[in-house]
Amino acid sequence: MSLLNAAITGVQGWVPETVLSNQDLEKMVDTNDEWIRSRTGIIERRILKGKGKATSDMAVEAVDRLLKKTNTTKEEVELVIFATVTPDKVMPDTANTLCDKLGLVNAFGYDLKAACSGFIYAITTASQFIRTGMYKKVIVVGADKMSSIIDYQDRATCIIFGDGCGAVMLEPTEENVGFQDAVLKSDGSGRQFLYIKAGGSQNPTTEESARLREQYVFQDGRPVFKAAVKGMTSTIKELLQRNNLKKEDISWLIPHQANMRIINSVADMLDFPREKVTVNIHKYGNTTAGTIPLCLWEWENQFNKGDYIVLTAFGGGFTWGSVLIKWAYDNK
Ligand code: UT7
């Protein structure tokens, strides 16, 4: 069976209006703008405000615009894969809620949970449905309302994360563009360094766990930092090697936006020019599954058909990996 290629035919992002600046955080925890900028590169992040507002509401904004941009009717969408660690509810999946809110009446959908690697796992999964010819219109969403699981009394985590969403449309093509390859990894022994203590089946939320603030993200930053640099660098190398590509063949490197120092370390270890690395962490912080599609959205106008682009991510789990795509359209 000859496989089709799965091409990204459109990309759209959406971030909430409310800005949480480093100066705002100085009033909330013992931190300062200089420390945050120099240790992370973050200046501000966006926060989704409003009673009852959830991750799906950000996705509604992004996907509605994506449909218009790609001239897709709501009825045509067949599948939505929703990468998030901040689902609207533990059950049902946020993809189902999104489809209902937007009227994607013919689509089925499900959530995919791989923390900061969620989008690259999801786009790899979605591409297989296209490549086999099973579906023709698949939407991949990467979105997180991190403010719902962050402890704004914990300076080690609250300075890093923000809320945001990005989405792409995937469609089949017989041209040699689109998803090319992926090197994806996971290692559960890293789960002790980045996780949420309470709220799952092992340790359901109780009054006691809430008192101990265990419903929020815990991170031991240093081991995560080291593993992130190593994991992203090694999977990019493996990806290039097995596709017979040199770093000079890559037009853009799109890294997960977790820390400016991690991004620079990865680029420098690969001897990859920093000007070809997308960076918007200063504006949005770490939006978990949202970072990579938000970069695709903001750099879309600079991509040309045939450009090799590498997406790379590392996150809780541990999960990590790199994806090679060949951009499918000239900038519009
Ligand atoms: O996206 C998912 C994957 N996550 C990541 O990739 C994140 C990886 N880790 C990191 O980005 C960094 O480790 C952090 C940004 C989380 C922390 O930076 P760091 O350079 O590793 O700092 P550290 O945790 O080693 O802390 C250094 C010092 C400590 O003080 P002492 O012990 O040296 O006196 C901290 O208490 O900085 C202190 N510190 C702060 N000071 C001011 C920690 N957080 C803050 C803060 N403001 N917000």
Distance 221 CA to ligand 1 centre (A): 6
pLDDT of residue 331: 78
How far is the C-alpha of 9 from the C-alpha of 130, rounded, in Å?
13
Domain end position, chosen among 119, 147, 175: 175
Q: Are residues 161 and 222 in the same domain?
A: no
Neighbours of 38 (CB within 10 A): 11
In the beta sheet, which residues pair with residue 14? 165
Count of domains observed in the chain: 2
Task: Quote the pLDDT of residue 1.
Answer: 55
My answer on whether 191 and 232 are in the same domain is yes
Same-domain status, 25 and 158: yes
Structure tokens at 127: 């591409």
Q: pLDDT per position in the chain (332 positions), as tens?
A: 567 999 999 999 999 999 999 999 999 999 999 999 999 999 999 999 999 999 999 999 999 999 999 999 999 999 999 999 999 999 999 999 999 999 999 999 999 999 999 999 999 999 999 999 999 999 999 999 999 999 999 999 999 999 999 999 999 999 999 999 999 999 999 999 999 999 999 999 999 999 999 999 999 999 999 999 999 999 999 999 999 999 999 999 999 999 999 999 999 999 999 999 999 999 999 999 999 999 999 999 999 999 999 999 999 999 999 999 999 999 76
Interatomic CA distance for residues 206 and 71, integer angstroms: 47
Tell which of 175, 192, 222 closes a domain.
175
Quick check: 65 and 165 in contact, CB under 8 A? Answer: no
Q: Are residues 184 and 159 in the same domain?
A: no
Residue 265 lies in a domain: yes
Kindly state the tokens that stand for 140.
């991949």
- Residue 332: predicted pLDDT: 61
Answer yes or no: is 238 within a domain: yes
User: Hey, how many other C-beta atoms are within 10 angstroms of the C-beta on 133?
Assistant: 12
Which residue among 28, 32, 39, 259 has the greatest number of ligand 1 atoms within 8 angstroms of its CB, and so is best to mutate? 39
Residue 216 lies in a domain: yes
Domain residue limits at 122: 5-175
Q: Both 109 and 170 in a single domain?
A: yes
The residue assigned the tokens 């519009």 is: 332
Distance CA 16, CA 53 (A): 11
For ligand 1, atom 44, the nearest C-alpha belongs to 156
Contact residues of ligand 1, CB 6 A cut-off: 31, 35, 39-40, 116, 155-156, 159, 221-222, 224-225, 228, 258-259, 262, 286, 314-315
CATH (domain of 125): 3.40.47.10
**Residues 83 and 289: beta-carbon distance below 8 Å:** yes
Q: Pick the last residue of a domain from 124, 143, 175.
A: 175
Assigned domain for 331 exists? no
Asked, for residue 312, whether it belongs to a domain, the answer is yes
Asked if 282 is an active-site residue, the reply is: no
The answer on 20 and 159 residing in a single domain is yes
14 and 159 part of one domain = yes
In a domain, 203, yes or no: yes
**Quick one: pLDDT at residue 26?**
98
